[in-house]
């Protein structure tokens, strides 16, 4: 059965790829999760409106503008 093994391998590769996609999406969701309540740099409180507008935000407005 020439080619049979190759076809099975291709299907397995597709399955592996979908698992990788699902894991990548999960990781992306974790990264863009609720974010931080306080700035990573100066520990100032990050306003709830800013956290809602920028999911996963880690810096206050001052520190973010200093970086940009």
Residues within the interface to Zn ion (CB under 5 A): 39, 41-42, 44, 60, 63
28/37 with CB nearer Zn ion: 37
* Cα atoms in the 13 Å half-sphere on the side-chain side of 30: 6
Nearer to Zn ion, 28 or 44 (CB): 44
Instruction: Report the nearest approach of Zn ion to the CB of residue 36 (Å).
Output: 10
In angstroms, what is the minimal distance from the CB of 63 to Zn ion? 3
Within the chain, where are the H helices? 4-31, 48-53, 61-67
Phi/psi region, residue 56 (left: phi>0; alpha: psi -120 to 50; beta: rest), is left
Closest separation between CB of residue 58 and Zn ion, Å? 9
């Amino acid at each position: 059965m020439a080619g049979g093994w190759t076809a099975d391998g291709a299907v397995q590769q597709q399955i592996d790829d979908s698992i990788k996609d699902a894991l990548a999406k999960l990781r992306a969701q974790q990264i863009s999760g609720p974010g931080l309540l306080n700035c990573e740099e100066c520990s100032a409180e990050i306003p709830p409106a800013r956290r809602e507008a920028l999911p996963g935000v880690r810096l206050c407005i001052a520190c973010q503008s200093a970086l940009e």
